[in-house]
Structure 1
Amino acid sequence: MNLKNYTKEFSYNLRLAYPIILGMVGHTLIAIVDNIMVGKLGSTELAAVSLGNSMIFIALSLGIGFSTAITPIVAEADAEKNESKIRSAFHHGLFLCTILGVFLFGLIVLAMPLMELLHQPADVIVLAKPYLAWVAFSLVPLIIYQGYKQFADGLSMTKYSMYAIIMANIIHVGINYMLIYGVWIFPKMGIVGAALGTVISRIMMVLFMHIILSRREQLKTYFQNFSFEEIKKETLRKIINLGLPSAMQMLFEVVLFTASIWLCGNIGKTSQAANQVALSLASLTFMFAMGLSVVSMIRVSNQRGLMDYKNLVVVARSVFLLSIILEVVFAAVFIAFHSILPYLFLNMENTLQLTDNTEVIEIASKLLLIAAVFQISDGIQVVVLGALRGLQDVKVPMYITFVAYWVIGFPISYYLAEYTPWKAQGVWIGLLAGLTSAAIFLYIRFHYLTKKLINNSVANN
C-alpha cells in the first residue's frame, strides 16, 4: 500500500496524541522532579527514592493497565452512538478503579518488609520506608483519576487529562521545594516532603477531572443519578475480563524494569543510581509511545465499532509508523548527548559525593547508549499492544508479553549482571532482548487477527 495512505493519518493522530503524551510526560515528570530534587541531597537519598518507586511502579502498572479496559468499550460505544453503554462503562469502571486503588495501597503497605529480603543497602531501606508509605497512599486518588481519564480518552476528549497533569505538576514542584528543603515556615522533611508533594498533587488531579468533566453540557448525562443499583455483575465481569489481562501485560513489563533496579542494587549503590538516571530519561521518551498507544486503542476501537476493518489496518499502521519515526529521533538524541544528560540528576559541586557521582555518570552514559536502541523496540511493542486492546484482544498478548520479558529478557539480564563484567549494561541488554521479542510477536498477532477480520467481512458480504 502507498505510504501516503499512512502519512495522511499523521495529523489527526498527532492532534489526538499530543494531549495524551503531555499528560503521560507529566506523570513521569512527577517522578523525575522527585529524583532531581532528592538527587541534590545525595546518592543514598536518590537510591532510596528509586527503591521506593520500584514498588510503587508495580502497583501503578496494575492500576493503569486495568483502567485501560474502559477506553475501548467507551470508544466503540461512541462510534455506535450508544449513550447507555458509555454511561455503564464509565460508572462500572470508576467503581472498580476506586476498589482497586484502595486494594493496591494496602498491598504496598503489607509488602514493605520485602525490601530487607531483597538485600538492598540498609541505609537506603531506612530512608525508603517512610517515603514509600506516603506515595503508596497517593495510589488511591491516582487510580480513581485513571477512571475519569480513560472515560474521557474513549470519547476522544484527550485534552482534559493534560490540563489536570499540568496543574498537578505546578502544585507538585512548589510543595516539593518547600517540604524537601524546608523553605519559609515549612519544616525540612527530605524525601518524605517529596512523597507528600506527590500525594497532594494527585488528590488535586481527581478533583480537577471531576469538576471539569461534570460541567461539560454533553457529559452531564453521565454524571447524574448515580446509583449502586446500576452496578451489574455482567458489566463488571466484562471490564474485569478486559482489564485483568491488560493489567498483567503492563505488570510483566514494569516488574522486568523493577527487577533491573534490584539487580543494579545488588551490584552496588552507584549502579542503582545510574540505572535510575537512565530509566528516568528512557521513561520520559517512552511516554510519547504510550500516548500513541492510547491513540491506537481509541482509533482501532472506533473502526471496530464501525466494522470498517480495512481502514482499521491503515489507521493502526499509521500510528505504528509515527511511533517508529519519533523513537528513532529520540535514539539519536540519546546517542548524541549520552555523556551530558546524566549531569542533570547529580550535584557535582558536593565534594563528599564526588567519587560516587563520577562513577554514576560513567555508568549512566553507557546505559543511555543501550536505551537509545531499546526504546525503538519499546515504542513498537506498546503501540501494537494498544491496537490489540482496541480489538479487545488481551489474553494472547498477555502470554506473549510474559514469554518475551520473563522467558527471554530477564534470564539474559540476570546472567549478564551476575556472571559477566557487563554488570549494569548487561541488565539493559536483557531489557533490549525482551522488548524486541515482544514487538515482533505482538505485530505478528495483530497481522493475523486483522487479516482474519477482513477475510470474514469479505466472505459475509
Structure 2
Amino acid sequence: MGMLGHTFVAFADNLMVGRLGTAELAAVSLGNSFVFIAMSLGIGFSTAITPLVAEADGAGNKANGKSALKHGLVLCTILGITLFGIILLCKPLMYHMRQPAEVVVLAMPYLDLVAFSLVPLIIFQAFKQFSEGLSQTKYPMYATILANVINVVLNYLLIFGSFGFPKMGIVGAAIGTLVSRIIMVVYLWYLLKSKKKFSDYVTNFNFKEIQKKVMHKIIGLGFPSALQMFFEVAIFTAAIWLSGVLGKNAQAANQIALNLSSMTFMFGMGLGVAAMIRVGNQKGLTNFPELRRIGKSIFLLTLLIEIVFAALFLWGRHWFPTLYLDVNDLANMADNNEVIVLAAELLLVAAFFQISDGIQVVVLGALRGLQDVKIPTLMTFIAYWAIGFPVSYYLGLHTELGSTGIWIGLLTGLTASAIMLYIRFDYLTKKLIAME
C-alpha cells in the first residue's frame, strides 16, 4: 500500500485532468515522463538503506542501523536537489522530441512544480526505506494515505476552481502533488519520532561526523539499484515519447494503460521490499537455506497475485479507460472514443506482462537483500535496452501495430528480465548453501 501511494498520486491527477481533455492528459503524461525517470533514480538509490538496516536489525546492531539512515538522508537530499536541477536543464528537450505543440505548451509549467516535489519525495524515501528495514511498513503507508487524501482535495479545489479557489488546470494538479509530498515527509518523520522504538534512530543526528566508508557502502549499493530501476522506467518513458510521435491520442491512451499498469506494478514492488527485508534478515543471521525458502515463497505469492491482475485487465480493458475521460463531452467525443479503443488494445498486452513485471521486481528485491546489485544491473540493461527497446521501436514506428507494437516490446523486455534475474537468484542461493 505504501508503494501504491506514489502511483495513486499520478492516478488521481490523471483521472481529474482527463476531464479537461486529451491534450491536458497528454501534457501530464509528457511532464511526468521526465519526473518518472528522475524518481526512479531517487527511489532506486534509496533502496540501499533497507538491506543495510535489515542486516543490522538481524544482527542486533542498532548503531549501524542509525548510521545507515543518517548517511542515507544526506545522500538522498543531495540526489533530490540534483535531479530537480537536471530536469530544469532538460526542459528545452521537449521542443525537439516531435511532440504535439499544444501538449508541450501545457506541460512546461506543470513540470516545474512536479520536478521540485522530487526533493521531499526522495527525502521521504530515505525514512521509508529505513522504517521498512526494521520491518515496520505501516508508518510509511499511513503517510502516503494522508498525502493522497491531501492531493485529491487540492486537485479538486485547484484544477476545477471549486469553492472559490482559482481554476488552474493542470498547474493545480502540480501544486497538489508538491504540497502533499512535503506534508508526507514531515508526517512520517513525526510518526517515527513519536514512537519510542524509533526515536533514537531519527533524532540527534550529528551530520558533522560523516564516515566515508558508510557513504561508499550506500553508494555502492544505491547506484546500481538506481540504474536497475532507471533502465526499466526509462523504457516505459521511451514508450511515452514514441507514442507522442504517433499523436496526442496515442499518447493519452499510452498514459492510461501505463498508469493502470504502474498501480498493479506497485503490488509487486511492495512484495519486492518484503523479499529485500526478509532476505536481508536471513543474511544477517547467515541462515541461507531459510533465505532461499523465503525468497521462493514470496516469488510464488507474487505469481498468484499477478495472475489475478492479468485476469482483471482482460475483464475490464474496455471499461477502465472510460474512467479517465469525459465520455459525455460531445466536443471531444471522436478523440475520446479513439483513446478508449487504443487503451483497450494496450491493456490486452499489459494483462500478459503483469506476470513478468511482478516476478522480475520481486526477484530484484531478493537480490538486493543479498546485496547483489552489479550483475543484476547488467541483466536489466540487456533485457530492456538490448532486447525490449529495439522491438518497441521497430514494431511501434515501422509496422501497422503502432502503440500495440510499442507495448509488445515492453512485454519482451520484462520477460527477459524476469528469466535472467530468477536464474541469478537460484545460482547465488545454491552457491551460498553449498559453502556452509
TM-score bucket of the superposed structures, by smaller chain: over 0.9
* Candidates 122, 125, 130, aligned match of 2:101: 122
Q: What corresponds to 1:75 in structure 2?
A: 54
CA distance in 1, matches of 2:128, 2:414: 27
Q: Is the Cα contact below 8 Å between 2:272 and 2:366 reproduced in 1?
A: yes
* Candidates 318, 321, 324, aligned match of 1:339: 318
Deviations 1:142-186 (A, max 9, x none): 000000000000000100011001111111111110000111231
Q: Does 1:183 align with 2:162?
A: yes
Q: What corresponds to 1:372 in structure 2?
A: 351
CA distance in 2, matches of 1:212, 1:114: 40
Q: Which amino acid in the other structure matches residue 314 of structure 1?
A: R
Deviations 1:8-55 (A, max 9, x none): xxxxxxxxxxxxxx1122211100110010000000000000000000
Q: What corresponds to 2:240 in structure 1?
A: 261
Q: Does 1:28 align with 2:14?
A: no
CA distance in 2, matches of 1:212, 1:336: 40
CA distance in 2, matches of 1:193, 1:159: 29
**TM-aligned CA deviation for residue 376 of structure 1:** 0.4
Q: Does 1:97 align with 2:76?
A: yes
**TM-aligned CA deviation for residue 350 of structure 1:** 0.9
Q: What corresponds to 2:379 in structure 1?
A: 400
**TM-aligned CA deviation for residue 224 of structure 1:** 3.4
Q: Normalising by structure 2, report the TM-score.
A: 0.99
Aligned positions of 1:316-331 closer than 5 A: 316-331=295-310
Q: Is the Cα contact below 8 Å between 2:189 and 2:202 reproduced in 1?
A: no
Unpaired runs of 5+ residues, structure 1, are: 1-21
Q: Which amino acid in the other structure matches residue 354 of structure 2?
A: Q
Deviations 1:70-111 (A, max 9, x none): 000000000000011001001000111111111111111111
CA distance in 2, matches of 1:402, 1:240: 19
Q: Which amino acid in the other structure matches residue 41 of structure 2?
A: L
Secondary structure in structure 2 of the residue aligned to 1:372: helix
Q: Is the Cα contact below 8 Å between 2:225 and 2:377 reproduced in 1?
A: yes
Q: What corresponds to 1:145 in structure 2?
A: 124
**TM-aligned CA deviation for residue 269 of structure 1:** 1.1
Query: Aligned-pair RMSD on alpha carbons?
Result: 0.7
Q: Which amino acid in the other structure matches residue 438 of structure 1?
A: S
Q: Is the Cα contact below 8 Å between 2:364 and 2:421 reproduced in 1?
A: yes
Q: Does 1:157 align with 2:122?
A: no
**TM-aligned CA deviation for residue 190 of structure 1:** 0.3
Q: What corresponds to 1:385 in structure 2?
A: 364
CA distance in 2, matches of 1:184, 1:344: 24
- Show structure 1 runs of 4+ deviating over 2 A: none
Q: Which amino acid in the other structure matches residue 273 of structure 2?
A: V
Q: Normalising by structure 1, report the TM-score.
A: 0.94
Secondary structure in structure 2 of the residue aligned to 1:231: coil
CA distance in 1, matches of 2:54, 2:389: 35
Q: Is the Cα contact below 8 Å between 2:283 and 2:291 reproduced in 1?
A: yes
Q: Is the Cα contact below 8 Å between 2:2 and 2:137 reproduced in 1?
A: no
Secondary structure in structure 1 of the residue aligned to 2:208: helix
Deviations 1:237-286 (A, max 9, x none): 10000000000000000000000000111011111111111111111111
**TM-aligned CA deviation for residue 119 of structure 1:** 1.0
**TM-aligned CA deviation for residue 418 of structure 1:** 1.1
Aligned positions of 1:224-373 closer than 5 A: 224-373=203-352
Aligned positions of 1:150-229 closer than 5 A: 150-229=129-208
Aligned length: 436
**Aligned sequence identity (%):** 60
